[in-house]
Amino acid sequence: MFGVKIFYIFIPLLNCGFMLARTNENEDFVMSQDDSYNGKTKFIFITGGVLSGLGKGIAAASIGSLLSRFKVVPVKCDGYLNIDPGTMNPIEHGEVFVLDDGGEVDMDFGHYERFLNIKGKKEWSLTMGKVFDTLLKSEREGKYAGKTVQFIPHVTDVIKNHFFKIADNENADILLVEIGGTVGDLENEFFIEAARQLFHIVGSENCLFAHLTYIPIPKGTKEQKSKPTQMSIHDLNERGIYPDVIIGRCEEMLTQKIKEKIALYGNIPTKNVISEIDVDSVYEIPIGFQEEGMLDIVLKKLRITMPSVANQEMDDWKRLVDVCKQNNKNPRKTLNIAICGKYTQLEDSYASIHEALKHAAAHLNVKCKFEMIDTEKTDTIEEIKVQLAKVDAVIVPGGFGSRGIEGKILVVQVARELKIPFLGICYGMQLAVVEFARNKCGIKGANTAEVSADGIDVKDAIIDILPGKRGLPLGDTLRKGGQDVFLKSGSLAAKIYGAELIRERFRHRYEVNHDYVKRIEEHGLVFSGRSVKEENIMQMMEIPEHPFFVGCQFHPELTSTLLKPSPLFYNLLKMAEVRFDYRLEELHILDAKNLR
């Protein structure tokens, strides 16, 4: 243990010393970095301390939202060695967020897009795996001209050059860089060192460091404690970074006393210590930051002036946040929404679905309560009927593999037969088609070819792998990103979207088998959305005789925002409200009978 501690203490010192040595040895190295800076872009770095999961992504997105009248470009740095999170289990790292350009990125990009009203790009995601991949390819191609390739300066060069390239390509006013993990983690050391070097290149007036830490309130003392934050700031200072803003995550607003103590230790004005309290809705955070003076701090430090024009979007944002707060305290109606999948152990696995439901709920002035149903543990249809008896809508989300799918198919069957509003997303749509084929078309062996990889014999592959994807490496088989969808005229889908041509985001490698489409439609299921290309993929389905039974091959949750909720989630909740009223009426009838 002592050896490990010594290692952590000396890494920053060695890094700094080595940088000085490299600068003296090769002076044109620093000059080349100066040349790559466009002289316009301001940089904001967000780091985290004490523990992970404090909400750096939300803090970064909230700061960015206050600067929305500038061109703000978010960048996320992750220390893991995966090229991207595309092959990672959602239970391991939360959901994989898919961008319009097909990039598979960290779930924090969901916050960036929802708060900043932007479309992210895959280049804005930088993992250590991607850094090393770039470095090693350059070395093999001889781009280092025979030099010894080292962590410093070459790894940090790759990182800094990536930042400068994004800033230049996007003509960004502000590059908002979130460094994942916690200060002290071995994985993010080179991102932090690159940020330190960049600060010296662009100058103090062009760079701001915000550090998010945790302020605990131990039960025994019931007093806010600053010691973990002091140690975290100390760790950051050791790495040559001195934060301009310290954000304290706490159960309650930071006291003036604790702010003064943190400010003294962090060598910053007391007003630069900002509270980030636990809230019912993350959409309250930008408002809290604004009230705490975050915007003024950023503008002053970066020497920029905010255009003085009316911000209607912020007014609408505050109005919807007020609706959410009111419904959390005294809800007009609380709709029970069942999310039925196999990644229920970690709520972040379905983060964007939760957010999309909250967006729709705010516009309908209702509250959503989530019932997480683990389909691996649902064995019988009777059990599922009991679980769904008190819900107002059912969502079967995306997923992969054979685990838990029979439970999902039973959930689909109960929702269809009991007329519960239903939305099947990606794999959820595919399994809805399988269920319909089994129980309405009489194709008892109906299944998805996806389960054959686990040794399950598939007699009728109602769902089969996409053309051209068979035999490819796992990471290359997905059809990803934004695609156009043609909606059938007069269909429920066309009415929901108010259009016959839409664009949504996809992430799948299987599709509805064309050989079964006609037979399935003859029994009453309608494929109301198809790809506009020659591939003719079934991209939406519905059952007209059902109040709301819709499946989509795409992920509508990825494009939903607080100001503009997804039409599918909005209309699902509208029908859930109808079922809520019906269930309430039934309960009143039962109560009346009991009274008599």
The predicted structure's pLDDT at residue 475: 61
Concatenating the DSSP letter of every residue in 92-124 gives HH-PPEE-TTS-EE-THHHHHHHHHT----GGG
Residue found by looking up tokens 């900002």 in the block: 274
The predicted structure's pLDDT at residue 476: 65
What's the Cα-to-Cα distance from 197 to each of 1, 157, 193, 484, rounded to whole Å? 30, 9, 6, 43
CB atoms within 10 A of CB 505: 20
Average pLDDT by consecutive 10-residue portion of the chain (596 residues)? 45 44 35 66 96 92 94 96 84 84 94 95 96 94 91 95 96 97 93 97 96 93 93 96 97 96 96 93 94 96 83 87 89 94 73 95 95 86 92 93 88 96 96 96 92 80 84 72 96 97 94 95 96 87 96 97 96 95 68 48
Concatenating the DSSP letter of every residue in 272-285 gives GEEEEE--S-GGGH
Q: How far apart are the first and last CA of the chain?
A: 73
Joined tokens for residue 477: 């088989």
The predicted structure's pLDDT at residue 33: 43
Beta strands across the sheet bearing 446-448: 446-448, 460-465, 510-512
Distance CA 264, CA 267 (A): 5
Distance CA 446, CA 435 (A): 8
From the list 324, 368, 426, 552, the catalytic residue is 426
Contact 216, 225 (CB under 8 A): yes
Concatenating the DSSP letter of every residue in 520-535 gives HHHTT-EEEEEESSTT
Contact 125, 109 (CB under 8 A): yes
- For the question of residue 555 being annotated catalytic, the response is yes
The predicted structure's pLDDT at residue 27: 34
At the second CATH level, the architecture of 2-242 is 3-Layer(aba) Sandwich (3.40)
| pTM, rounded to two decimals | 0.87
What's the Cα-to-Cα distance from 333 to each of 142, 182, 328, 563, 585, rounded to whole Å? 65, 40, 10, 21, 14
Residue from 74, 82, 301, 249 nearest 178 by CA: 74
The predicted structure's pLDDT at residue 522: 96
From the list 104, 193, 555, 577, the catalytic residue is 555
For the chain, what are the domain ranges? 2-242, 316-582
Fold of the CATH domain 316-582: Rossmann fold (3.40.50)
From the list 193, 504, 557, 577, the catalytic residue is 557
Residue from 5, 48, 71, 60 nearest 191 by CA: 48
The predicted structure's pLDDT at residue 165: 96
Distance CA 559, CA 107 (A): 13
Joined tokens for residue 10: 């000396």
Contact 590, 374 (CB under 8 A): no
Distance CA 202, CA 172 (A): 14
Residue from 52, 44, 102 nearest 79 by CA: 52
Distance CA 80, CA 103 (A): 17
- For the question of residue 557 being annotated catalytic, the response is yes
Residue 138 CB-density burial (10 A; 0-12 exposed, 13-18 middle, 19+ buried): middle
- For the question of residue 340 being annotated catalytic, the response is no
